[in-house]
Every structure is written in structure tokens, then in C-alpha cells.
Amino acid sequence: GDGGGGGGGYGTGGTVNRGIVQTEQGSRGVVPIASLNTFTHNWTIQGRITVKSGMRTWRNAKGEGRLFSVDIMDGSCDVRGTFFNEDADRFFTTLQVNKVYRVHGGQLKPANRQFTTTRSDVEITFGRETTFEPLNDALAPKITFNFRPIAEIEQVEPQSVIDVIAVVQEVQPLSSVTAKSGANAGNPIAKRDVTLVDQTGASIRLTLWDDAKDLLHEQSGHPVIALKNVKVGDFNGRSLSHQRGTLVELDPDLPEAHQLRGWYDTAGRNGGFR
């Protein structure tokens, strides 16, 4: 059996460097995400879900199934964790982006750098024994953005991952492209192109793929959009592409968003953008 899992970490609390995980109440046995490695046993981490993917289906020689993943961040680092099949069903509806959880149980393996944008050296496969306990919002750091003005993106290396905040100038109808490679090769993938503008007078195209295409539609108006971990492409000049690690917030309560809103409503909506 799995055992209770409850008091497992009790005796280890004294070794934890509490300064790294910004938590106090009930942080017994909690370790910083940055300290996880493949030899860590019976760990508990505490952090904010910054990214939650859609539910995906997979097929290979062994059969088929379902999976989704989350990125969890504390004051030290962030880590990717994936749920499969029944575990994916169990957690998919309950876990929420931007909420804080105490997390226990799962297998740690070396991070696959090809697919992971998180900074931890490991990634987690969650299983039957995994628990997510919701916590007070103050018990994990806020998501931080490092916004790049649109005019500067011309100088950014293609394939880089950056943060952008802008106003949605135009939303295109849904379209699709045929996947060239990967599990979906030959199948159509839905996408939506969106034009973003900011005070630099520049505009850029953002492509939303898969589930993200439903975040905006032609009647969305002109919300402010904040993007964390959006990928820079070089299709027809620089462009932006939503990927699985991208966090999207519409009309966020941020100083930059309020400035953009004021600028667009007074001057920007009439501007000519390059």
C-alpha cells in the first residue's frame, strides 16, 4: 500500500533552510524546489502553479492514454510535473493556475531539457500517492514578469522565451495548419493569430495554438494581455508563439497594464503601427 503519507516528513524539518522557501506556518519537512534531485526521498514542496497544460492524449506502441502537466514555482526555482491517465483525471479539474499548494509524492527523474523550460534539474511524474493541499496565497511568491517592449523584440534571438505585455489590436478568425512532425504529423492543428501593440508604436503577431486559441475571439475587444514564457519566432520578421509553458493573463492588475490601458484608450487606438 501507499501508507498514510501524512507524518512521513516529520523528523526532517530541522534541516530545511526556511529562508529559501518563503513559508512559515506548517512548513515542517518542506524542501526548496531547487534542492530536489533524483536521490531525494519522501519530499514535500510548496509553491504556486504557474502553468497548467491542457489535457492531451498520447499513443505509442504500448497503447494510448491521457496526460497533463503543471509547472510549480517557489522562491528558489520552478519544476515541471506530469499526471497520467487516472491521476490526470483525478487532478485536472481541481488544480488551478496561480493557486498555491503543498505537494507530496511522485517520482523524480532528470529533466528532459528538450521539452522543459523550468529551471529544476528534475521533473516529477505524479502518481496514486500524490497529494496537493491548497494553501493560503501568501505562502508562495507572486509570479514575476520581465516584460520586453515590442520594438525591442527585433533584437531578440529567435527561439528565445520572453515576457510581453501589450494591447490586443486585432483578433483573426480561427485557421489551421498541418503538423509537419511529432505525434500529430499530418493532422490539422487549430490556431488563431492576434496582433499586439504597445506604446513603442510597434506591433507583432502572436499565434495561439490548441486550447489557447479559445482565450480570445473576434468579439474580445482590446484587452491588455500579459504573456509569461512566450516564444520568439522569425516568421516574416519577429513573431510570438504560445507554447505549453506560456502563462496568459488578460487585463491583469499590474501597473504596466493600467498604463497600457490608459495609453490605448486615449491615443493608441488611433495610432498607425509599424
Regarding whether 240 and 165 lie in a shared domain, the answer is yes
Domain end (from 104, 119, 139): 139
83 and 28 together in one domain: yes
Compute φ and ψ for 259, nearest 5 degrees.
Answer: -65, -45
Indicate whether 121 and 26 sit together in one domain: yes
243 pLDDT tier (thresholds 50, 70, 90): confident
Residue burial 2-17, b: 16+ Cβ < 10 Å; e: rest? eeeeeebbeeeeeebe
Is residue 274 domain-resident? no
Is 259 part of any domain? Answer: yes
Give 2's pLDDT tier (boundaries 50, 70, 90): very low
**Inside any domain, residue 132:** yes
Position 3 in a domain: no
Query: Which residues span the domain enclosing 110?
Result: 10-139
| Cell numbers given for 148 | 520586453
Encode pLDDT of 70-106 as tens digits. Answer: 999 888 888 999 999 999 999 999 999 889 999 999 9
Task: List, in sequence order, every residue forming a beta bridge with 192; answer none if it has no partner.
Answer: 208
Tell me if 72 sits within 8 A of 81, measured CB to CB.
Answer: yes
**Does residue 144 sit within a domain?**
no
**Domain co-membership, 231 together with 178:** yes
User: Do residue 156 and residue 40 come from a single domain?
Assistant: no
223 and 204 in a single domain? The answer is: yes
Structural domain count of the chain: 2
Residue 211 lies in a domain: yes
Q: Is residue 22 part of a domain?
A: yes
CATH number, position 160: 2.40.50.140
| 133/245 same-domain check | no
Query: ∠ CA(31), CA(16), CA(26), 5° rounding?
Result: 75
Q: Is residue 63 situated within a structural domain?
A: yes
CB 268 within 8 A of CB 224: no
Q: Examine the domain organization and report whether 154 and 250 are in the same domain.
A: yes
- Range of 22-26, 147-151, 216-220 with top mean pLDDT: 147-151
pLDDT in tens, 4-58: 433 333 333 333 333 333 434 445 689 999 999 999 889 999 999 988 888 999 8
Do residues 106 and 183 share a domain?
no
The predicted model gives 129-149 an average pLDDT of 87
Q: Give the Cα separation of 268 and 25 in Å (integer).
A: 47
93 and 20, same structural domain?
yes
User: For residue 153, is pLDDT > 90?
Assistant: yes
Among 139, 169, 190, the domain-final residue is 139
What is the per-residue pLDDT for 213? 84
Which of 114, 139, 164 terminates a domain? The answer is 139
Same domain, 178 and 117: no
* More confident site: 6 or 174: 174
Domain identity same for 21 and 130: yes
